[in-house]
Amino acid sequence: MKHVIYSAVAFATLTFAACDQPNGGGQSASSNNTNEVTSIAEIPSAGDGVQSEANHVANNAQPITVTTKGGIDPQNWKPGETATLTFNRFPKNAAEWQAVQEQYGNKPEAAVLLELMAFEIYNHDKEEGSKCLDMGNVTNNIPDVTRILKDRYNPQYGDYYTPQLVATYMEGATPENAYKANQPFTIQVRSHKVNKYQDSNALKGTVLYLEVYSSGYDTPWRGISVTKQKGCPYYKVVNCPSLYTQCKPVSFKIDDEYTDIWAQ
């Protein structure tokens, strides 16, 4: 079954009290469902200079589409249950990011994708990226994430500087090909094989323990926990330190250098 949602969203201002309204129509993820979500927002120029200007503008003019295969059951823990998320491009600002969250954020696997998207926005624009992190994480997790990302995306930090961080999670990207990802972009998410779901009175929600695949680490499945708090329509990230630890650099055996994921 395929669900397609088309929405034209006009953003005069960003709404940061996204969890003030309860979710009236959220659907539970099904392992046999395929869902497509399209978000449309004003597209700023990324100005990365890698693609030709014509191709770059044409790509940015496309609406963001997210398609899932499989899904994580948020009610019943099923060890190793998988979800594959495919999308055509990254959002370039908080308004585009929020459009994707509003249309798809009621599924746990979407919180993983949105976190990676927020990381990459932060890489290019710390102010816009911080807005996304504020909307996509529970309050206690935000300081830890932003503290580390400031260094991860700072060229002055030498080997600690890892602009390829998010690219390592994209299907087809490896250290041996300078983290050049397959098109369209795809990530693999699964439920943790050992850690069961846990109710949290402090968070007012059930914490789901998930993992996302990355080629940038010797241990490829990276842990991330998410929850949908009472009164909030979206899943948010509770904890994710393994997502932003230092990843492998591009292999010294090749001459290619990493190409910004926005330009791939």
Looking at residue 30, its pLDDT comes to 36
Residue written as token pair 């990276």? 222
Mean pLDDT in consecutive groups of 10 residues from the start of the chain, 264 residues: 34 39 35 39 39 52 92 98 97 97 96 98 97 98 96 90 97 97 97 98 97 98 98 97 96 93 86
pLDDT at 249: 94
| pTM for this model (two decimals) | 0.81
Count of positions (residues) in the chain: 264
Asked if residue 184 has a cis previous peptide bond (ω within 30° of 0), the answer is yes
**CB pairs under 8 A, 24+ apart, for 181-184?**
181/261, 181/264, 183/264, 184/86, 184/87, 184/88
Name residue 6's beta-bridge partners. Answer: 38
Residue 131 CA to residue 16 CA, distance in Å, equals 8
Domain boundaries, the chain: 2-11+26-263
| Closest to 124 measured CA to CA, from 183, 178, 60, 218 | 60
Distance from C-alpha of 216 to C-alpha of 74, rounded to nearest angstrom = 28
In angstroms, the Cα distances linking 250 to 57, 141, 172, 259 are: 28, 29, 14, 11
pLDDT on residue 31: 36
- Distances in Å between the Cα of 119 and the Cα atoms of 19, 53, 71, 78, 165 are 21, 24, 23, 28, 9
Q: Provide CB contacts within 8 A for 201, sequence distance 6+.
A: none
Amino acid at 12: A
| pLDDT number for residue 57 | 53
Amino acid in position 158: G
- Name the DSSP letter for residue 137: B
Write down the pLDDT at residue 11. 33
Q: What is the pLDDT of residue 62?
A: 85
Residues 133 and 136: their CA atoms lie apart, in Å, by 5
